[in-house]
A and B are shown apart, each in its own frame.
Chain A
Amino acid sequence: DAKTTQPNSMESNEEEPVHLPCNHSTISGTDYIHWYRQLPSQGPEYVIHGLTSNVNNRMASLAIAEDRKSSTLILHRATLRDAAVYYCILRDVGGSNYKLTFGKGTLLTVNP
C-alpha cells in the first residue's frame, strides 16, 4: 500500500494561513490524494481530494507537486475550529487500495 508521511504536530495562530505538508514518494499514477480531519470527540470529516491539479473548495486548497510525490493542504485563514488531526491518505478507488487507511496524521493547534 502507498504510504504517506506527515509531521506529528504543527501550530498556527488564528487568522493566519496554515500549510500542512504530506509526503507520498511511492504514489502510483492512479492514487488520489485525500485529506480528512478529525475534530476533538468527533468522527473524521472529508476536507478535499485531488489527482494532479491543485484543488480549491470552501474549506481548503490542495496544492500537489508536479511529480505528485508531495502535497500541501492549505487553510487560508485558520480559526480555533480548525484545531484537529489532519490525515493525508492515498486512495486508488479503481484498484485494491480503495479503502481509507488512516496514518497518524498531523495534530494542528491553533492559538488565539
Chain B
Amino acid sequence: SAVISQKPSRDICQRGTSLTIQCQVDSQVTMMFWYRQQPGQSLTLIATANQGSEATYESGFVIDKFPISRPNLTFSTLTVSNMSPEDSSIYLCSVERGRQNTEAFFGQGTRLTVV
C-alpha cells in the first residue's frame, strides 16, 4: 500500500491568486498523477508528474495554468495559477508503483474554493 498526505486539505482563495498543493508519499513510487474533481462530477486527469522532467498534460490542461513539480520519487506539487471561481474543485494526487497493472492509491484531496 501507499500512504499519501495531501496539503492543504482545503482552502478558500481570492481570484487572481495561486495555490500550491503538496503530495507526499510514504515510500518511493514510479507514477504520480494529479486529478481534478469538479462539484458533482467525476475525476478528470490533469497530468502525469514525471520525476526530473516536465509533466505530461492531458488535453485541456496547460503548464502555465497548472505547473507541476516532481523533484523526487515521493513528492510532487500542483499549482493552480491565476485562479477564478471556475477552478473551485477537489484536486487529488494519485500514485502507483509501476505500470504493470498496479493498484492506484489516492490522497484525500484538496478542496479548493475560489471567491
Contact = CB atoms under 8 A, between A and B. Distances in A.
B43 interface: yes
A44 B101 CA distance: 17
A43 B106 contact: yes
A87 B42 contact: yes
B43 A102 contact: yes
B94 interface: yes
Interface in A19-47: 32, 36, 42-46
Interface residues of A, number: 21
A36 to B, nearest CB: 7
A99 interface: yes
Contacts, number: 45
Interface in A64-112: 85, 87, 91, 93-94, 98-105
Contacts of B100: 93
A102 B46 CA distance: 12
Contacts of A45: 106
Contact of B108 (A43, A49, A91, A98): A43
Nearest to A100: B104
B21 to A, nearest CB: 13
Contact of A44 (B43, B45, B48, B99): B43
Given A42-B108, A105-B42, A100 B101 contact: no
A101 B35 CA distance: 10
Nearest to A49: B101
Contacts of A101: 45
Given A91-B101, A104-B42, A44 B33 contact: no
Contacts of B94: 43, 100
Nearest to A103: B42
Contacts of A103: 42
Given A43-B92, A44-B43, A93-B102, 4 more contacts: A45-B106, A49-B103, A94-B99, A99-B33
Interface of B: 4, 33, 35, 42-45, 48, 92, 94, 99-109
6 contacts: A49-B101, A49-B103, A94-B99, A98-B99, A102-B42, A105-B42
